[in-house]
Amino acid sequence: MARPFPVPTRFLPVLLLSTLTLLSLPCRAAEQPPFHNAPATAAKLANPYSGQATAATAGGALFATNCAGCHGRSAEGSGNIPALAHGATQQATDGEVFWFITNGAVDSGMPSWGALSGEQRWQLVSYLKTLPTAAPATTATATPTTAATIDAPPPRAPFTDFRYEVPGTTRKITLADLPAPYATSSAGNSASIVPRPAGVLPQAPAGFKVNLYADGLATPRVIHVAPNGDVFVAESSAGRIHVFRGLTADGKPERSEIFAAGLTRPYGIAFYPAGPDPKWIYVGDTDAILRFPYRSGDLQASGAPEHIADLPHGGGHWTRDLQFSRDGKTLYAAVGSASNVDDPDTTPGEKNRANILAFDPDGAHLRVHASGIRNPSGIAIDPSSGQLWCTVNERDGLGDNLVPDYITSVREGGFYGWPWWYLGSHQDPRHQGKHPELKTQAIVPDVLLQPHNASLQIAFYQGQRFPKEYAGDLFASEHGSWNKSVRAGYEVIRIPLHQSGKAGGEYQDFLTGFVLPNGQVWGRPVGVTTAPDGALLVTDDGSNSIWRVDYTGK
């Protein structure tokens, strides 16, 4: 069933009808659950700066400094952080939002911002309420400083932080290494995004060279290469798909075009059918699977997108990655939870979320392929075996070193624990005593990562340019923590598969250096793929760039 182009026009009648309905039925607001369990008294608080443009402007500056590192420059959210420009935040009263900013929530991992003055918190509320029409928040006020390096004690192995991430370092976390829940407090440590200092580049292992492939993008996220070698990138905040072609002598694309625009936070990209001549490009919007007609070499969409299937959406994790099975008969869609730890038994909004869903290529025959996966933010098919893999943002609020994110092969019908259990038979204390029958069913993932890393896209290395021991290995982008006392992640890692398709539990730091010694962040890796020439391409939505990693050693 085709829908108009550009896509957002499809919402206009629905939005108008919804607005009229809400105006005519104000009692409905009382039927909605309170915003993050805010007390009734919070809803009655009045914003003394409501409607004041100066307050909203000041709030935007506060947001850019304190909040954009987690929620995104335009509050679009990240792999494990909800967007704020729509949904529950916009439906809540000013007082409820003020209350939540003030108090935070352990269960959701939201830190308390009570240290800000009351005026500043109201300014933040004022800014948030302008988000549907506001210009993107700017980080112009955040500039690199010469502050001293962080002097926190070294982490206890096998856990680490950005100070000790060194390209080529091998790490392995096992179940025996897990601390007890609440062994440490959960921190609020969002990133202050600063401009990349002159001369600073990501760091790769010896023999590799990194250069800037493209910049000036709008939240570049998932990246894939078409069979003809064109590079497709989802610019999520801009609602568009960008395409690059060719490679100049200095490692830049020869041509840049917008393939499609007017999308709703696009993320996943998949070509169908497999082979040199796909006929469709599938796109995972936050609320639907779309597909564009495609002929090899198209740099702009030749027609309107076709609506293939609706996807669960709303608050919480908004990314929707896509992959086709190797035989082309199944389309997988990764849908993250709407929360940190809400019980699906009692939370209708969790229906068909925290799952990898499966469809026929035409969108029919919806089924759950695997469940209990809090946020499967990246999925990929091993081209040699056809095995589906995913990378997962696990839950927060249990301490600095719980719960590790993970990368794993995915079993059809498998259950991975969320929200009652984690990493096998470890029960989340916030659901003590629930679903004991699932204790032995929760699967232990293949590779445990640093907790709160926010692991996003994964890709199998398919080039010939890297040393032969890299053949078939997995690469994964670690967007970086926001609630760990000292930052972790902000890197690209390698999962050795030993030319066997099997992981041994270890991973290696591969591309690091996105955090300055003082803890300020200039880059956040998101997407990763093998370039047509065998180099590695990495998107970075901190500096809004794409990096190219080439091997020049012997």
Average pLDDT, the chain: 89
Non-local (6+) Cβ contacts of 74 within 8 A are 85, 136, 137, 219, 237
Q: Domain 172-551 adopts which CATH fold?
A: Neuraminidase (2.120.10)
User: DSSP of 106-167, one letter per residue?
Assistant: TTTTBPP-TTS-HHHHHHHHHHHHTTTTSPPP--TT-----PPPP-PPPPPTT---GGG--T
Contact 64, 253 (CB under 8 A): no
**For 132-191, what is each residue's pLDDT tens digit?**
876 544 433 356 665 667 889 999 999 999 999 999 999 999 999 999 999 999 888 888
Taking the C-alpha atoms of residue 162 and residue 517, their distance in angstroms, rounded to an integer, is 9
In which band, very low, low, confident or very high, does the pLDDT at 90 lie, cut at 50, 70 and 90? confident
Residue 118: pLDDT band (50, 70, 90) is confident
Share of the chain above pLDDT 70, in %: 87
DSSP E strand stretches across 384-430: 388-392, 404-409, 421-422, 426-427
Radius of gyration of the chain (CA): 22
Q: At what angle do helices 94-103 and 118-129 cross, to 10 degrees?
A: 130
pLDDT value of position 77: 66
- Asked if residue 101 lies in contact with residue 121, where contact means CB atoms within 8 angstroms, the answer is yes
- Measured at the CA of 316, the angle between CA 410 and CA 289, to 5 degrees, comes to 60
Q: Please count the residues of the chain.
A: 554
CA distance 45 to 282: 45
pLDDT computed for residue 475 by the predictor: 98
- CB 138, CB 65: distance < 8 Å: no
In angstroms, the CA 235 to CA 219 distance is 5
Enclosing H/E stretch for 101: helix 94-103
Closest CA to 234 of 244, 248, 221: 221
Q: DSSP code of 185?
A: P
**Tens digit of pLDDT for each residue in 25-45?**
343 334 556 888 888 888 888
Order of strands, sheet of 280-284, starting from the edge strand that comes earlier in the sequence: 268-272, 280-284, 288-293, 306-310
Give the residue with greater pLDDT, 15 vs 129.
Answer: 129
pLDDT of residue 111: 66
Residue 92 or 549, more confident: 549
Q: Does position 17 have pLDDT exceeding 50, yes or no?
A: no
Helix (H, G, I), strand (E, B) or coil at 332: strand
Domain ranges of the chain: 32-129, 172-551
Q: Please say whether the beta carbons of 231 and 247 come within 8 A.
A: no
pLDDT of residue 508 exceeding 60: yes
141: left (phi over 0), alpha (psi -120 to 50) or beta: alpha
Q: Tell me, rounded to whole angstroms, the distance of Cα 176 from its chain centroid.
A: 28
Overall average pLDDT of the 444-455 stretch? 98
Q: Which residues pair with 239 in a beta bridge?
A: none
User: 267: closest CA among 216, 219, 339?
Assistant: 219
Confidence at 554, pLDDT banded by 50, 70, 90: low
Following DSSP, what letter does each residue of 223-272 receive, concatenated?
A: EEE-TTS-EEEEETTTTEEEEEE---TTS--SEEEEEE-S-SS--EEEEE
525: alpha, beta or left, given left = phi > 0 and alpha = psi -120 to 50? Answer: beta
The DSSP 8-state label assigned to residue 4 in this structure reads -
Nearest-angstrom CA–CA distance, 175 and 445 = 10
- Rounded Cα distance between 124 and 104, Å, is 14
Phi-psi region of 12 (alpha: psi -120 to 50; beta: other; left: phi over 0): alpha
Residue range 451-456: mean pLDDT, rounded: 97
- pLDDT of 56: 79
Whether 393 and 361 have beta carbons less than 8 Å apart is answered as: no
Stretch (H or E) spanning 94 = helix 94-103
**Tokens read off for 396:** 């927060």
Class of domain 32-129: mainly alpha
Residue 85 above 90 pLDDT? no
Topology agreement, domain 32-129 and domain 172-551: no
